[in-house]
Structure 1
């Protein structure tokens, strides 16, 4: 007898100090979350420096997913500098019958040398390992994005984890992005600790 996969009803994971939940524009219709979070760190000058960066992040996330289904956290370990070190998004990926860790890894590896005008992947590597609730596929690379204002390329490191819980109808995908050099001792190692802490609750069969 084959058990039908069950829907993931809740996701939880640990995060080191310095990570804060992002209120998306769909959750923050008044648009005051950037000011509210920035104000918790200090004075007016800091708020003026940090709030615009938080507002820009909200807009980026909204452009990528207007539905607001993708959730996010922002990493601000050094508030006095008035910059965002990194941000994380997390979402559920609906799995079809033939969607497996193997097929996910093959699809990401196929994009290892992707290039198009204004976008280039550099230094790609991937891996696969056991996870406390199933299996994990991870990959990282530098993304070179054209910066028209600076007349140069902006380098952003991305680390992505897809976690396939046993018996689940969805995978959990975590994406970490950082253009802040020196923000992590080792971005892959630091973010994998977060990915390893992911736990899910399963509901009824999908």
Structure 2
């Protein structure tokens, strides 16, 4: 059976509304206009410090304010779950994959504390044998180290990574792992520009894609 590692934001959950609410509370304290949902989605993907950097730059705040704004953001982020939603069919797909004997992990650039909070909120934590956040190591995706760590924590088997973004595609490529692209997430480029083994728009299609990929990569029989 395969080792399958998932991204979180834009892959399993649409968290942009909660992230936007946190960002706009920080900006309101600065008497600055709020982020749009399009800006929010565009800023997601490279971890919370980079999100805050992009938010700060978009509203003309100086680099000297980065640490203060990041602290203000993180103070609100841990409990930001009310506006997020699980993508349709994701829970059912995770259930199906685990029932088929695959081992599941999670590797996200979201900090670990809010990651665990949102997984618990949606009842998803029990699916994952290992969870790696953006602050679990000293580097974040697209550095391949977090993906390597997530796969290493799972039993032996073929590897697959499921994500939604340019960062995820680059992470998979650098880790030399087949990439399954969720097309309804936060990617910035066209699907054709992202290297991927297969793409899916609804999670109902994911178990069959996994079965196909595992079969394609299986060594030939005697």
What range is the shorter-chain TM-score in?
under 0.3
Scaled by the length of structure 2, what TM-score is found? 0.22
- Give the structure with the larger helix fraction: 2
- Give the structure with the larger strand fraction: 1
